[in-house]
Structure 1
């Protein structure tokens, strides 16, 4: 054993030990390992940072950005809402939920897919009267399984494809759907197994408490658009849909007349404004399911000055009675003129003396009105919230009572919680000046049909171009990112914020270490020892060993790091045995995506720990049978699809 081999193996052992210890972040450990390789002469200083330009690193960053665009546009929520059954039992409901999660994870970041579907899973648990963990753990495992079906489904697949591309005289990187031959059967059988039996293995625990500030129901106003799904429906039909999100209609505004107890048989018209009471986290699903748009997004700003002089409509006004001239005034103001504008565009046209900034600065934030605030007793129109401050009042949460006034005319009180939309700096300045305290930025995605279509088409085009091999995957997805930014499907600043920089640093720093393992012969040395001690020259046993070792490491440390460490060993094992390296690399890809035994093996497992009321030792009860199923299904398929 040479000095370089001893050095690189010592660094590798230290890296794996620190990964397992978990005291330091993975990206810090990876950078430390890279610098250690440079200091010991294993990596040339001029080549130290070439890993950050690796196609796999670029593709991961681009996928994170495009996934964020799918999230913020509401495209994913529309798919989930249409695919999930409304009244099915646990088996069918869980199968549908996991199926949607697996499908999404094949084409977007699986952590993003989990974040979007977790509120859906919690509501499903409430409907089925199940502990949250019995829904959230199957959902987490389903999204992890879905990631192994495509090249872009999870970072380990991209890493494996990158190592295959580096093989001398090899066939190049794996194609977009090469992973589907093994990944799809594993994911389908895994989802079915969990839906039929597996979810019952999850311990029945209730969460001790949800973190964060939980407000009461919000009172908000939403307008029916010309092309909206609610036009022509009765109010009763609309309320039946709202009940699924825990929301209700508490009033109707037609021709500026507030009707507090409208008949359920009343037929809705374009331009009607529904006064809806809903939880903050339900606003997005309410709007998308009924084709509504927040009133503040479509109401022309010039109207606000006129609103100051108009008295609020009496709550007890007779139903169906409108003031003379209201219809003409609505026609003049052009109710449809804002229908094709998104929130950012509506704000851009608003007169305000506040500095604007681009759409990237727009945020949704809750603020609470303090006692003695200058807002007490005044309405949004009176304080010029839009015209002077450049902010939209989307909803108001008030404990214990409901106002009978229009949202913009409602007199605010101490203790009211306001959901504001606008630039972060403007919200902070307004809160400071008016005696309010910002609570938290709400991660609510207001559906935008145009952006959802744009994001879906760009993603489909990028996937198609990469799948056909017209250009490398990194180039195809970088083009998709550029298209989304040019079309303003995603604000520029949000593009940078959507990148998981620790993962990017981790990958960029570990690639030179992996290269050093190969160039010094350390990877071959490890592989030879593994073959001699465990496999004893049998390729099938060797393949099984690589799969099991990768699965074990993935349960204890980052899956991308696991793939980067195991790929050189897998390639060395195949070379030692004189067999095809493809099944060994595929075994690494599968094993790195099978973190089902602990909450620390994958971010999706960590996300459900608190909301699901789960404990560290709860995961193996479902994880062990699932990993056994993965091994039983994938090994025969590996030998058939990628013969030795």
Structure 2
């Protein structure tokens, strides 16, 4: 092992460790890895940022914008309404839903496809009286499977296509992934439909009406005329036992007491931190004559009071409460209601937050939000809708039906179709074809030009742009060849099929904890070096990396879709493997023999 190889492997191990640790965002870790490689001379400082101009990075950005055009025009809503039966049984409805999720994910962002279908899935679960998780997990996994079927279906496929070009071959074409991808995805969907609901853990009983989130943490103030004044916490808890709620904290004079004395008497303006289901909140407030923290009196001349007045001018039936989930690309992540001045700027109250498996020490208004948090928001419908659109939230309560603009929907579908055809028939490289599509979307104002950059998931773009030069350093330092030889010595040299199976399983394992695009960027150079050592084509191993990177079913952090459904399904971290592990076994059983048939060694 040379000095450069040792340094690079140390950087790689540190990078993967930070990815798994999750304290820093993936894009931040990727940039740190790139700068470390530059600092040690492993990446040329003059070309360090060339990855941001890589065709894969440009294509991902363009596809995200075109996906947003399909959403905002109502094209996907129209497809969903026609495709999903309204009066069929649970099996046929779930089959239609997961299949549609897979088909949409082949041509648009996976998270966008899931976000559009989640409200339908939750309503379906309520209609058939089953836990939402029984529908959400198959839908999430189905949309992930669909992404592997085309070049643009998921970022790992674009990464793999770029690395194939470096072997001297042309990049994989638009539908080069389709024979293997469709076979594997179809097998996975059949498995999900036959056994998926049985293997998904039952969480929160069988009724989906209230969405199976964890109980909300809500702050309620004790006003001067409340019956709670002078009552002890023990007495309060006895009252709350009747509605399955509990006091988890007390705030007095802005100081939070995590385990207050049960004999402590409540005073005026004390704030109780109550854990309760959303349906029970109204009853608790009425029973104890409490006020939600956001309802406390304010200076009539303050901006908050002016916002209140504006809302009060609307009819009472125009103020609604909505449950919304924070998407992984939301700009709310890492910020609190106080940070964005939620009440002042948007005239919206954040009444409560549900976060799976965690209880925060922070005040509700200073709680830093995470992907997958479910927020209980109160405000005018129009304000809630605009807020959800601006900050990438998905409304989970019954949402208003969006009537598609037929002209814009047809234009969005036509632009996407032409871009796909141009790339598939080789008229233009994929990056150019989809860039033309973005220009058309802007020119036709399907997405206003001022909103075009909001459609791009910038952390993913930075992640890809930073890791591509790092992956190149793996090849130039010889670290990829060193790792490849280790894998061959471990057992991959016994046969070509064994090498393929090992790559597939290792890639799947890494992808369970590391962003799938990052996984592909790390594994592609190793796959190419392994193929060179065995004297075989790199195509089967690269295809194995593409399939493995797309199959992150074991944990809620392996794929953004899994993170989104964590709180909604009431899941715990360890619930995913019960369905994810056998599904990955199906993927391996189908992919290992199928890949060499399409891409011979």
Q: Same fold (TM over 0.5)?
A: yes
Unaligned 5+ residue runs, structure 2?
Answer: 205-211, 219-302, 322-339, 349-377, 390-399
How many Å separate the matches in 2 of 1:398 and 1:98? 31
How many Å separate the matches in 2 of 1:570 and 1:510? 16
438, 443, 461: which is aligned to 1:504? 461
1:201-216 matches, within 5 Å, as 201-206=199-204, 207-209=212-214
Does the 8 Å CA contact 1:210/1:610 hold for their aligned counterparts?
Answer: no
499, 503, 510: which is aligned to 1:546? 503
Q: In 2 relative to 1, CA 507–210 (structure 1 residues): closer, same or farther, beyond 3 Å?
A: farther
1:10-29 matches, within 5 Å, as 10-29=10-29
Q: In 2 relative to 1, CA 430–541 (structure 1 residues): closer, same or farther, beyond 3 Å?
A: closer
Q: Give the secondary-structure state (helix, strand or coil) at the position aligned to 2:11.
A: helix
**What residue number does 2:244 align with?**
none
Q: In 2 relative to 1, CA 516–446 (structure 1 residues): closer, same or farther, beyond 3 Å?
A: same
Unaligned 5+ residue runs, structure 1?
Answer: 214-366, 381-392, 400-423
**What residue number does 2:111 align with?**
111
Shift of 1:175: 0.4
132, 148, 171: which is aligned to 2:169? 171
Deviates more, 1:70-79 or 1:146-155: 70-79
Q: Output one character per residue of 1:360-411: Cα deviation in whole Å (capped at 9) or x when no partner.
A: xxxxxxx9998983776x779xxxxxxxxxxxx9x82479xxxxxxxxxxxx
How many Å separate the matches in 1 of 2:181 and 2:304? 48
Task: Return the index of the structure with the highest Cα Rg.
Answer: 1
Shift of 1:12: 1.0
Q: In 2 relative to 1, CA 431–166 (structure 1 residues): closer, same or farther, beyond 3 Å?
A: same
Q: Does 1:152 pair with 2:156? A: no
**What residue number does 2:33 align with?**
33
Q: Does 1:630 pair with 2:552? A: no
Shift of 1:539: 1.4
Shift of 1:46: 0.5
Shift of 1:208: 3.6
**What residue number does 2:4 align with?**
4
Shift of 1:17: 1.5
Does the 8 Å CA contact 2:554/2:580 hold for their aligned counterparts?
Answer: yes
Q: In 2 relative to 1, CA 199–7 (structure 1 residues): closer, same or farther, beyond 3 Å?
A: same
Does the 8 Å CA contact 1:101/1:117 hold for their aligned counterparts?
Answer: yes
Q: Give the secondary-structure state (helix, strand or coil) at the position aligned to 2:148.
A: helix
Does the 8 Å CA contact 2:73/2:405 hold for their aligned counterparts?
Answer: yes
**What residue number does 1:602 align with?**
559
How many Å separate the matches in 1 of 2:508 and 2:310? 59
Shift of 1:18: 1.3
Shift of 1:533: 1.9
Does the 8 Å CA contact 1:370/1:437 hold for their aligned counterparts?
Answer: no
Does the 8 Å CA contact 1:122/1:135 hold for their aligned counterparts?
Answer: yes
Does the 8 Å CA contact 1:547/1:588 hold for their aligned counterparts?
Answer: yes
**What residue number does 1:195 align with?**
193
Q: In 2 relative to 1, CA 73–2 (structure 1 residues): closer, same or farther, beyond 3 Å?
A: same
Q: Output one character per residue of 1:51-79: Cα deviation in whole Å (capped at 9) or x when no partner.
A: 00000000000011110111111110111
The RMSD of aligned alpha carbons is 2.7
530, 542, 545: which is aligned to 1:588? 545
Does the 8 Å CA contact 1:49/1:509 hold for their aligned counterparts?
Answer: yes
**What residue number does 2:63 align with?**
63
Does the 8 Å CA contact 1:369/1:437 hold for their aligned counterparts?
Answer: no
Shift of 1:518: 0.7
Q: Output one character per residue of 1:106-141: Cα deviation in whole Å (capped at 9) or x when no partner.
A: 000011101111111101101111100000000000
**What residue number does 1:579 align with?**
536
How many Å separate the matches in 2 of 1:114 and 1:16? 27
Q: Does 1:619 pair with 2:576? A: yes
Q: Give the secondary-structure state (helix, strand or coil) at the position aligned to 2:318.
A: strand
Shift of 1:442: 3.9
Shift of 1:430: 10
How many Å separate the matches in 1 of 2:485 and 2:547? 22
Shift of 1:447: 2.6
478, 481, 487: which is aligned to 2:435? 478
* Stretches (4+) displaced over 6 A: 210-213, 367-372, 427-432, 436-439
Q: Give the secondary-structure state (helix, strand or coil) at the position aligned to 2:202.
A: coil
Does the 8 Å CA contact 1:210/1:611 hold for their aligned counterparts?
Answer: no
How many Å separate the matches in 2 of 1:564 and 1:429? 41
Q: Output one character per residue of 1:128-181: Cα deviation in whole Å (capped at 9) or x when no partner.
A: 1110000000000000000000000000000000000111xx321000001011
How many Å separate the matches in 2 of 1:43 and 1:153? 30
How many Å separate the matches in 2 of 1:114 and 1:38? 38
1:118-137 matches, within 5 Å, as 118-137=118-137
**What residue number does 2:52 align with?**
52
**What residue number does 1:185 align with?**
183
How many Å separate the matches in 1 of 2:15 and 2:310? 57
TM-score (norm 2): 0.71
Shift of 1:538: 2.0
Q: In 2 relative to 1, CA 374–501 (structure 1 residues): closer, same or farther, beyond 3 Å?
A: closer
